[in-house]
């Protein structure tokens, strides 16, 4: 496993903490999946007992906390939310979301780069939710990011990997950068496919939280991501247009 800002994770699955039917199911899903990272929105850490109970449960999971700036649409909003999250959650990790399009929740890449530069200068370890554009990826690295998290498809869509070509190109362009497919994964096969492309982790939420059985789906996603990682490391065969016999013809009897 490639490390993320010097931290090596137990498996290539990162899980969100929203939309679960209950806190108990969320906790069981996390423990079943073995995910080493939990993404948490600052908005979940509200005032009062419910927020404190939720935060205590997340702490008890013993995973790395990755606060996010979900719902932010401006640089100022994102930077302020990140700074508040650092105080609340006690970590300099931040998943930087800066949404530019309401329907698709596509990142505003122009503001994203600006916010990433401000936050890295402020000591944050930024995990930017971005598109699969190579130039944007390059600008984010120049801004100080050491991880890139391109989307597979729009958040919560469950469509899988909309642009495999672009994701392959990003992996080839940034061979030494940790890459995470973030958003759009709906099935274990999508997670496996991302890892087969050479990505280092997958980050998902809706596919597990809103499944009929979130705990079972969490286990399936973990196993799929691990299988995809092992498949990539095994150097799989290339696809062919024609058949290739697996049994040799040498020594075949001629009648």
95 is catalytic: yes
d(CA 174, CA 102): 29
Residue 137's contacts (CB-CB under 8 Å, 6 or more residues apart) are 130, 148, 150, 170, 173, 174, 177
Angle at 181 between CA 1 and CA 117, to 5 degrees: 90
Q: Which of 76, 95, 125, 252 is flagged as catalytic?
A: 95
Buried b (16+ CB within 10 A) or exposed e, 88-109: ebeebbbbbbbbeeeeebbbbb
Enzyme catalytic residues: 95
């Amino acid at each position: 496993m490639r490390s993320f800002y010097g931290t090596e994770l137990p498996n290539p699955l990162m899980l969100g903490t929203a939309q679960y039917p209950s806190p108990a199911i969320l906790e069981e899903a996390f423990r079943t999946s073995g995910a080493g990272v939990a993404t948490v929105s600052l908005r979940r850490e509200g005032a009062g007992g419910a927020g404190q109970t939720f935060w205590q449960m997340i702490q008890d999971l013993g995973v790395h906390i990755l606060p996010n700036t979900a719902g932010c649409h401006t640089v100022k909003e994102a930077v302020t939310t990140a700074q508040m999250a650092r105080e609340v959650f006690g970590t300099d990790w931040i998943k930087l979301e800066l949404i530019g399009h309401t329907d698709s929740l596509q990142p505003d890449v122009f503001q994203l780069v600006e916010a990433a530069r401000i936050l890295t200068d402020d000591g944050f370890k930024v995990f930017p939710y971005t598109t699969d554009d190579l130039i944007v990826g390059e600008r984010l690295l120049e801004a100080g990011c050491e991880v890139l998290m391109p989307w597979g498809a729009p958040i919560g869509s469950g469509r899988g990997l909309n642009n495999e070509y672009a994701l392959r190109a990003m992996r080839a362009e940034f061979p030494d950068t940790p890459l995470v497919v973030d958003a759009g994964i709906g099935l274990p096969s999508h997670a496996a496919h991302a890892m087969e492309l050479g990505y280092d982790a997958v980050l998902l939420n809706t596919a597990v939280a809103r499944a009929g059985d979130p705990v079972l789906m969490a286990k399936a996603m973990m196993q799929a991501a691990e299988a995809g990682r092992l498949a990539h490391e095994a150097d799989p065969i290339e696809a062919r247009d024609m058949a290739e016999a697996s049994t040799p013809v040498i020594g075949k009897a001629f009648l």
